[in-house]
Amino acid sequence: MTDDDAITIAINDVSYPILCGFCEAPIARRAEPDADREEVGCVLCGNWANAQEAGQLAVEFAKADAQLQLNRLARDATKSSSLLTFSGDTEHDRAHRFIVHFNI
């Protein structure tokens, strides 16, 4: 792996680049003289985390986002129904430091 590789997480066997949660730019590795500590993040926002943490946060976002995408489908499906009603969140209720763009 080289420093030019995108930093990604796999969702359903597809790799998605991890993006900054604030400005949605793809995150990059920060060159560290100390090889034990690999930091990744957004140069523009100063949003840095160790590589493992950034990956975990992106996965957390992906899980939350998948649920919200499902909720939006359910909301839209029940809009025209007089029998079914939808209740639930359709937007993220908090900021995520690292995100991915994907569709369920």
Question: By the criterion CB under 5 A, which residues form the site for Zn ion?
Answer: 20, 22-23, 42, 44-45
Q: Pick between residue 33 and residue 46 the one whose CB is nearest to Zn ion.
A: 46
The tokens for 91 are 């937007």
Q: How far is the CB of 29 from Zn ion (least distance, A)?
A: 15
Q: How far is the CB of 54 from Zn ion (least distance, A)?
A: 12
Phi-psi domain of 83 (left: phi exceeds 0; alpha: psi -120 through 50; beta: other): alpha
Give the C-alpha separation, 1 to 79, whole Å: 48
Rounded to a whole number, what is the distance in angstroms from the first to the last CA of the chain? 28
Q: How far is the CB of 41 from Zn ion (least distance, A)?
A: 8
Q: Pick between residue 29 and residue 75 the one whose CB is nearest to Zn ion.
A: 29
The residue type found at 78 is: T
Q: Pick between residue 20 and residue 100 the one whose CB is nearest to Zn ion.
A: 20
